Structure formats: structure tokens, C-alpha cells
Amino acid sequence: MAQSFAPFGLRAIAALGTHGNEVRAYPLPNGANCPDLGKGSPVKLSGGVITSAGTGGGPLLGVAAGFAWIDPTTKQPQLKNSIPADTSSAGLYDGSDRPTAYVVDNPFALFMVQADASVTAGDLGLNFDVTASGGDVNSVYGTSQYTLDASTRTSAVGTALKLVGLANIPDNNWGDPFPIVVVKLNGPILQQVSAA
């Protein structure tokens, strides 16, 4: 039986030729500009703070792995799988007075992601954008709802992801309606030699 459509964002599974998928802390905007993000959300870096990748292409910084901030009401530290839009931090957490995003930013990281339509073995090596299906974050689990946007397949490299394989899980096949595939970030900013 093929996979049902249940987007889960990007999940780090391996890293090519490195010691693993390091997670680094990056600041988020405080307050009104803080984006709604979940574990597995692709993110960008703009003006020194994390922003949502939104629907579209690269270059990406990496993929969110978790979030932390000081709750303004309880003054207690929060360590969560998601962060609601417009969040403010009421104190220092991990050395920052802003909410913090923990990001897998290794340019050689590999991720699993579900495609929003069929892809085939003939798509290997092609490039794709990302899209949020049904909103950015699953409110029950706090996970991203981003998927590989199958309609954006191209040989051009300005997209977010490069398709490098099919996830080795049961009932997951090339040509299925919503396969789970293996991707790498396409031209992530930590690998670029000049500004994008």
C-alpha cells in the first residue's frame, strides 16, 4: 500500500562525509516578525535572524530542529518542537534575548521529505522547491507540514532541494502518489562562496 499524504517537513537522516548533522542556535525575530515554524521547517537567514523559507526556492540555511524562549507570562524557559508566530522572549536563553531556533545547517545533510505528488527514478538529480501543505505547522504535533513540490522539477539549481534518492521504508516506491524521498539542500548558504 502506498504512502498516504501526511506531510512531516524535512527530517535529518544522514550527512555525506562529515561527522553528522550539527545543530546550531540562531536568533529569531522578537515579537511581531517571529514566524510560525515547526520541527522540520526549512529556514532562511535574513538580516541575521531566522525566517521561514515560505513556499519556493533556495538558498536555505537549513532545517529547524527545535525552538527555545522565555515565556513572557510565566518567565519559564520553553523548549518546544514549534514556535507560534509573534512570539517574544522575556529574557536570555542560550545567550540571546530573542527566541532561538536550533537548525541543522550542515550543507552535506540528507533529509527525508514527502513529495506532494508522484516523482520517479527519472527525477533523480533534479531540483525542486518546497511548499507548505495545509499550513506551515501541524498544531497537534508541532511539526512542519512542508513537502517537496513535485510540480517544480527542474535542472536549474536555484531551487531549495536536490532529489538524491528514495527513502528505504516499507510501501514506498517511485511513481507512488506521495513518495517519501531523500534530498539535500541545494546550494545552502553555508556552502556558498559569495552572497546569493
* Contact assessment for residue 127 and residue 164, using Cβ atoms and an 8 Å cutoff: no
Q: What integer best gives the mean pLDDT of the chain? A: 88
How many angstroms separate the CA atoms of 103 and 16, rounded?
A: 17
How many Å is the Cα radius of gyration of the chain?
A: 17
Q: pTM value? A: 0.89
* Contact assessment for residue 167 and residue 112, using Cβ atoms and an 8 Å cutoff: yes
Cis peptide bond prior to 177, omega within 30° of 0? no
The three-state secondary structure class of 122 is: helix
pLDDT for residue 20 is more than 60? yes
How open is the CA angle 36-16-14, to the nearest 5 degrees? 50
Residue where the block lists cell 556552502: 191
Q: What is the pLDDT of residues 24-66, one digit of tens each?
A: 999 999 888 999 999 999 999 888 888 888 877 778 899 999 9
